[in-house]
Structure 1
Amino acid sequence: MIIEMIVQDEVEAMQAEAYGANRLELVSAISEGGLTPSYGTIKRVLKSTHLPVQIMIRPHSNGFVYRDFDWEVMKEDISIIKELGGTGIVFGALNSDGSIDEQLLEKVIKHASGLDITFHRAFDEVTSQQEAYKTLTQYKYEIKRILTSGGKASCADATKELKWLVEQSRLTGGPAILPGSGLSPENIATVHQQVDAKEYHFGSGVRLEKSFHHGFSEDAIKQIRRTLEGTN
């Protein structure tokens, strides 16, 4: 069972590792939904942890439809991540009709060759998750997983949708499903029982006072770990 946790800097990365995370998602500007972190932050986080770090590639928070100059910025960011020894990125892009932007996705895959790619919650804004999953399955050797809340604000409200996606992943060998958004010690047992994913993504639900302004709650993480290990 993989527990992925959002971190914003090296202190949080070290704390998350110490408390039992298996993988990290590094972002900046969490209030904007998560943007690409700075060069300095990436460098220091990569040096501070032994865990896999998925680094957000998102130049702005104005939706997920990108222009050519957005791609040029993302290309530079990906190059820097590779130079710094990064091993993973988190990325997602859509067309104006709510479908996956395959043209840009293929550019990212080519430029990020060798990196582990997570398709992020842009997936929750597609017109059809069923069609979007079929599209992303074509890139299953490059895109390892999809971070999603099943198209709703919280995973707890989308267990049927997430279960369908998990089943599709198993049937097709497509990208794994990484449920994320609204997960906490209080609901993870119910969500896992109904969804049965192999990895889960946690944000404010594992923090003190459930706020990104505070550090992680060791008790919350231990409770989640016990719950997930006890249901397998």
Structure 2
Amino acid sequence: MTIGFEIPVFGANTASKAIELGASRIELNASGSYSDGGLTPSLEELKGSSHVRVPLRVMIRPRGPPSEPQARDFIYSDAEFEQMEASIQRFRDTGLLDRARGDGLVFGILKESQDAAEAGTSRRKCWVDKERCNRLVKAARPFKAVFHRAFDEIVSCGDDAGIAIDDRHAWRIGLDDLAACGFDAILTSGGLGNAIQNVAMLDRIITRAEVLGIEIIVGGGVRKHNIQQLSQQLKLKERGSTTYVHSACLSSTVSERVDDNEVIGILSYLK
């Protein structure tokens, strides 16, 4: 089966280069936002990328991680949510997104449980904010809706006290919630950290997602030195549908320039 290769780019200038090197899909983020995990690009950046011949996925994220050490990311104020909703509408209204090409929007919102924090931990459990995500998915239509690595925060909720992987349920609840919201795909590393560290969980997530009809995009530390191991352990080439891997392939987080050798190295195995 086919393994697609999605490259997140930061600004319009690197989109064409990534496609020239062989990317089969692009995730567009604001220039200079790699250190924040990718932020909503400007209209000008979308205009500069809209000519691409591969599917274009546009990040909708109003800010990076909060500065408070124990604060959880992807939990947004009413004003931030309204900003996300307005960004989706603005991008749709440009007419630059192409449904036939497979274009879409990438976003994710969490909420924390109201229960007291687990003993010995400093953070509450988190879940999909279904009400807000439903609204954003509807706002994104007819384009694809992708839930980003906020999902990894949900998966990590099942890690407490050394619970055996088959007894963890947070990821399954989260996956079912996202299916109910209508998401088409999820970008995940199978939990906090890099994908290669979470292969066992990723295998379970992909297997369940195939049943639900959701595409899993494997990201987080995917590089040319580990793509073969990751693909073989997850049996990506044997899956029943197209699977995507996601890697920024940066030569420098400062320049945010795509590294030719990284792209070529990953593609040499995928093909």
TM-score, scaled to structure 1: 0.90
Match 1:145 to one of 185, 190, 204: 185
1:38 to 1:163, Cα distance in 2 relative to 1, 3 A: same
The alignment status of 1:101 with 2:129, answered yes or no, reads yes
Provide the residue aligned with 1:223 in structure 2.
265
Distance (Å, rounded) in 1 between the aligned partners of 2:22 and 2:213: 27
Contact 1:166 1:196 in 2 (8 A): no
- Looking at both structures, which has the greater relative contact order when contacts are Cα pairs under 8 Å and sequence separation is at least 6? 2
Aligned pairs for 1:51-130 within 5 A: 51-61=54-64, 62=66, 63-84=73-94, 85-86=96-97, 87-97=103-113, 98-126=126-154, 127=157, 128-130=170-172
Provide the residue aligned with 1:164 in structure 2.
204
Structure 2, gaps ≥5 residues long = 67-72, 98-102, 114-125, 158-169, 237-242
Distance (Å, rounded) in 2 between the aligned partners of 1:76 and 1:42: 15
Q: Cα deviation per residue 1:1-56 (whole Å; 9 max; x = unaligned)? A: 21000111222000001000000111121111111111211221113x22211111
Moved more, 145-154 or 14-23: 145-154
Q: Over alpha carbons, which structure has the higher Rg?
A: 2
| Structure 1 counterpart SS, 2:190 | coil
| Structure 1 counterpart SS, 2:230 | helix
| Structure 1 counterpart SS, 2:57 | strand
Distance (Å, rounded) in 2 between the aligned partners of 1:212 and 1:188: 24
Q: Cα deviation per residue 1:92-113 (whole Å; 9 max; x = unaligned)? A: 0101220100000111011111
| Structure 2 counterpart SS, 1:138 | helix
Distance (Å, rounded) in 1 between the aligned partners of 2:21 and 2:47: 22
Distance (Å, rounded) in 2 between the aligned partners of 1:65 and 1:80: 22
Match 1:207 to one of 250, 258, 268: 250
Amino acid corresponding to residue 160 of structure 1 in structure 2: A
Distance (Å, rounded) in 2 between the aligned partners of 1:36 and 1:167: 31
Cα-Cα RMSD: 1.5
Provide the residue aligned with 1:2 in structure 2.
4
| Structure 2 counterpart SS, 1:227 | helix
Contact 1:24 1:53 in 2 (8 A): yes
Amino acid corresponding to residue 105 of structure 1 in structure 2: C
Provide the residue aligned with 1:31 in structure 2.
35
Amino acid corresponding to residue 33 of structure 1 in structure 2: G
Distance (Å, rounded) in 1 between the aligned partners of 2:144 and 2:256: 29
Match 2:195 to one of 155, 158, 162: 155
| Structure 2 counterpart SS, 1:99 | strand
1:174 to 1:88, Cα distance in 2 relative to 1, 3 A: same
Distance (Å, rounded) in 2 between the aligned partners of 1:173 and 1:74: 26
Contact 1:162 1:195 in 2 (8 A): yes
Q: Give me the identity figure in percent.
A: 28
Count of paired positions: 222
Q: Cα deviation per residue 1:206-229 (whole Å; 9 max; x = unaligned)? A: 233x53525222232222112122
Q: State the shift of 1:152 in Å.
A: 2.4
Instruction: Give 4+ residue runs of structure 1 displaced > 4 Å after superposition.
Output: none
Q: Cα deviation per residue 1:64-113 (whole Å; 9 max; x = unaligned)? A: 11222222111210011112222311010101220100000111011111
